[in-house]
Amino acid sequence: MLSRVAENLYWLGRYLERAENIARMARVEHEVMLESGQEIWHSLVSTTASNQLFWDTLIESPELTHSEFLIYSMNNPASLRSTLVRARELARGLREHISREVWEEINALYLFLALRKEYIARDIHEFCTETQRRTQTILGLYDNTVLRDEGREWFRCGMYLERADMTSRIIDAKYHILLPSDDSVGGPFDRFQWTAVLRSASAREAYRRMGNNEVDGVNVAQLLIFSQEFPRSLAFCVQALQRHCQLATDETPKRRRAAAERGIALLHLDVGALDIDQLIDDGLHEFLDEFQQRLIEIDRAINDEIFRAEPNAAPMQHQTQHQTTIGQG
């Protein structure tokens, strides 16, 4: 498979996963705002690592709201709209490598997104719910209508790397950005926020099925970081990333795949060697920050050593737009 095709499939997986996560988190944030009466859209902007860009954009557009910036603004490379526009551009160039059903659903989602901003603002919850549903449909169609070849493995690599990054940011937003005062830890609002974290990761039912009756931050972190059964946990995503990367690079020269394979393997070992008590003692925020940095390094190794190892290979546009937020993109 051509490196350019593999790279575009990898990024298509990242963008679709990112869009599904942003839509889901925005839907939950809207619900939390209605339930608690608190405006916490700023935490979601922080989750996508776009805080500074928001304040810079606010200088030129003082009427801009957090929700508009996160969902609709093309000035924000991490917005839902920007992400889906780039996904559609990639899919259009990959028509020979994806099924007709996948392309039609991506194009339909793009047209749905072209609705006027005023309509979206009128019912953000409905818009995000429908976007999440459509994105999940695309991901399911891809998995069930595309050949299980090298291209499919690169798509899954991008999807799981993005998912690991997003889950780590969801946890960190609560633990670091929304950290309550000492006297409210374990209190009603603290539990409410951790419940929102579970909902943001589509993990509320999984948490209950593991025998947890009360929502507790330590148990939530245990599930979202270490669970081998929950498909959005860090441990699950890193293990899946390792498996799909090995399959995708089976015929790639060892010198080109060595850095990425080593980075993923070491991250997998390090996550597996920890437990939740040690993690909290050492600093959960510090661990999550390092985890995100290591994902960026893995992403860089994949792009620089595998996709663009040929002397004449040129960087793709989406590799230079957004390198400090949500890994790269």
pLDDT digits (tens, 9 = 90+) for 257-279: 999 999 999 999 999 999 999 99
Q: So what's the pLDDT on residue 190?
A: 77
- Whether residue 310 contacts residue 3, with contact meaning beta carbons closer than 8 Å, is answered with yes
Q: Which of 129-133, 141-145, 150-154, 322-326 has the lowest mean pLDDT?
A: 322-326
Q: Which of 87-96, 112-121, 202-211, 312-321 has the lowest mean pLDDT?
A: 312-321
Q: So what's the pLDDT on residue 65?
A: 77
Among candidates 7, 13, 5, which has minimal Cα distance to 138?
13
Mean pLDDT for the chain overall: 87
Q: What is the pLDDT of residues 182-192, one digit of tens each?
A: 546 667 777 88
Confidence of residue 122 (pLDDT cuts 50, 70, 90): confident
Is a pLDDT exceeding 70 seen at residue 323?
no
Is a pLDDT exceeding 50 seen at residue 91?
yes
Q: So what's the pLDDT on residue 199?
A: 94
Q: So what's the pLDDT on residue 191?
A: 84
Output the six-digit token pair for 295: 């994902």
Neighbouring residues of 32: CB distance < 8 A, sequence distance ≥ 6? 38, 40, 192, 196
Confidence of residue 200 (pLDDT cuts 50, 70, 90): very high
Confidence of residue 318 (pLDDT cuts 50, 70, 90): low
Confidence of residue 166 (pLDDT cuts 50, 70, 90): very high
Among candidates 15, 19, 25, which has minimal Cα distance to 202?
25
Query: Between these two residues, 25 and 241, which has the higher pLDDT value?
Result: 241
Q: Which of 10-19, 30-39, 190-199 has the lowest mean pLDDT?
A: 30-39
Confidence of residue 314 (pLDDT cuts 50, 70, 90): very low
Is a pLDDT exceeding 90 seen at residue 150?
yes
Average the pLDDT over 4-20 and give the result. 97
Among candidates 214, 233, 212, 215, which has minimal Cα distance to 224?
233
Q: So what's the pLDDT on residue 311?
A: 47
Neighbouring residues of 53: CB distance < 8 A, sequence distance ≥ 6? 75, 76, 325
Q: So what's the pLDDT on residue 319?
A: 46
Is a pLDDT exceeding 50 seen at residue 320?
no
Query: Between these two residues, 178 and 322, which has the higher pLDDT value?
Result: 178
Q: So what's the pLDDT on residue 296?
A: 98
Is a pLDDT exceeding 90 seen at residue 75?
no
Distance in angstroms (rounded) separating the CA atoms of residues 123 and 197: 22
Query: Between these two residues, 280 and 299, which has the higher pLDDT value?
Result: 299
Confidence of residue 300 (pLDDT cuts 50, 70, 90): very high
- The reported pTM is 0.90
Helix (H, G, I), strand (E, B) or coil at 310: coil
Average the pLDDT over 121-132 and give the result. 88
